[in-house]
């Protein structure tokens, strides 16, 4: 089946979700520049790490509440409430100065903002049949990364020529737009009856699903690696005496590559063994940071981002489709929410420990990233699906 034919099978509500996601993710100005915003307010890199980690800790609450809300109340309601409330929290964060106040507000913002993520992923599973999910997630990531290729460049310009306040204001405005579209134009998706929507029943299913638990552990490793692109990567860029406006362009390279290559790559590799492609992607992501052991030049940062992005393209759309194949239909929101806990754990540890480790032993940090890529690959390759989930 041609790539065009695969795209033709994707339903109209899916494309509405993709368009709304583009608007929302274009305005994700704050997260990649949050560490710089905090340090420019007179706080240390370690204190910035604690505040950024607080955002990830808030994601633990989001995973539990968002997963339950997605299954019980509906996908669109969950996304709308999360986005509209998150916009208010983002504006409150723009007024904080001390790292303690920023940490508290970052925790609240993370808890609210990220609660919509399980609903978005579950809605794709509701709308798209299994044989088209890899390409669907690739298309969704295309929208996200098209926004990411434009957003950070604009954010870098604002940070250099205007005020960090405008990063928060634009972020909040795009969240409002997404919330309105979700509420008015997107379907509720599959809903679970009250007596079956609790976390106890979902946990019984998850703890017997060894392949899903292995993926959960692999996601902790990759979340640690991925978070470094938003924390130590910009700090290392700045401390390498490179201008901040070029940081936005290097970050945008990730999105440009994904926009140009990931959808064709997903279509071309759809018959390749999913687990092997996942493993290769994890290894490339981790090993990309070893570039910094050799050089801190602009060329090194570009090379690192190219290798990292090839790893990300190989892994992430397949990771979502693989996870969906392991999730019971009536627990999709909670399964996605539980998997989000892995990202919360990896992000939190990466923000709090990675930033401190970078301050003292940056070379060790780059080596740890590579080791975690190998560990994630081994977890995926050597854990079999249960008979109930074989595809």
Residue-wise pLDDT for 316-336, tens only, equals 888 888 988 888 888 888 888
**388 pLDDT above the threshold of 60:** no
Report the share of the chain in percent with pLDDT over 90.
Answer: 30
> Which one has a higher pLDDT value, 273 or 288?
288
The pLDDT score that the predictor gives to residue 384 is 73
How sure is the predictor about 200, in pLDDT bands with cuts at 50, 70 and 90? confident
What DSSP string runs through 277-346? HHHHHHHHHHHGGGGGGT--SHHHHHHHHHHHHHHHHHHHHHHHHHHHHTS-GGGHHHHHHHHHHHHHHH
Q: Which domains does the chain have, with CATH numbers?
A: 13-385 (1.20.1250.20)
Return the biggest CA–CA distance within the chain: 58
How sure is the predictor about 2, in pLDDT bands with cuts at 50, 70 and 90? low
Evaluate if pTM is beyond 0.85.
no
- What is the dihedral sign for C-alpha 110, 115, 118, 122? negative
Of 28-37, 244-253, 286-295, 365-374, where does mean pLDDT reach its minimum? 28-37
């Amino acid at each position: 089946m041609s790539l065009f034919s695969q795209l033709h099978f994707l339903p109209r509500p899916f494309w509405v979700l993709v368009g709304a996601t583009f608007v929302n993710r274009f305005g994700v100005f704050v997260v990649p520049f949050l560490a710089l915003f905090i340090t420019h307010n007179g706080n240390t890199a370690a204190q910035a790490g604690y505040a950024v980690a607080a955002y990830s800790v808030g994601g633990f609450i989001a995973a539990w509440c968002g997963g339950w809300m997605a299954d019980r109340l509906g996908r669109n309601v969950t996304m709308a409430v999360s986005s509209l409330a998150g916009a208010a929290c983002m504006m409150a964060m723009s007024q904080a100065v001390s790292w303690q106040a920023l940490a508290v507000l970052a925790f609240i913002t993370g808890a609210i903002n990220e609660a919509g993520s399980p609903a978005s992923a579950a809605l794709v599973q509701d709308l798209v049949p299994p044989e088209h999910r890899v390409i669907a997630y690739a298309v969704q990531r295309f929208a996200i990364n098209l926004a990411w290729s434009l957003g950070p460049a604009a954010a870098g310009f604002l940070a250099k020529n205007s005020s960090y306040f405008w990063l928060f204001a634009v972020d909040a405005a795009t969240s409002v737009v997404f919330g309105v579209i979700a509420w008015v134009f997107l379907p509720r998706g599959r809903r679970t009856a009250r007596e079956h929507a609790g976390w106890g029943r979902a946990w019984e299913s998850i703890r017997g699903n060894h392949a899903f638990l292995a993926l959960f552990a692999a996601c902790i490793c990759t979340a640690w690696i991925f978070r470094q692109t938003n924390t130590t990567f910009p700090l290392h860029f700045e401390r390498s005496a490179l201008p901040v406006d070029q940081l936005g362009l290097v970050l945008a390279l990730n999105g440009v590559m994904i926009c140009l290559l990931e959808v064709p790559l997903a279509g071309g590799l759809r018959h390749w063994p999913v687990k092997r492609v996942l493993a290769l992607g994890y290894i490339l992501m981790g090993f990309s940071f070893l570039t910094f052991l050799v050089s801190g030049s602009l060329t090194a940062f570009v090379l690192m981002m190219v290798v990292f992005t090839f790893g990300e393209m190989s892994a992430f759309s397949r990771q979502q489709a693989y996870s969906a194949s392991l999730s019971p239909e009536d627990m999709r929101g909670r399964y996605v929410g539980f998997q989000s806990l892995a990202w919360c754990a990896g992000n939190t540890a990466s923000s709090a420990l990675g930033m401190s480790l970078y301050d003292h032993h940056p070379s060790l940090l780059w080596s740890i990233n590579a080791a975690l890529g190998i560990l994630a690959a081994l977890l995926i390759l050597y854990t079999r699906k249960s008979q109930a989930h074989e595809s």
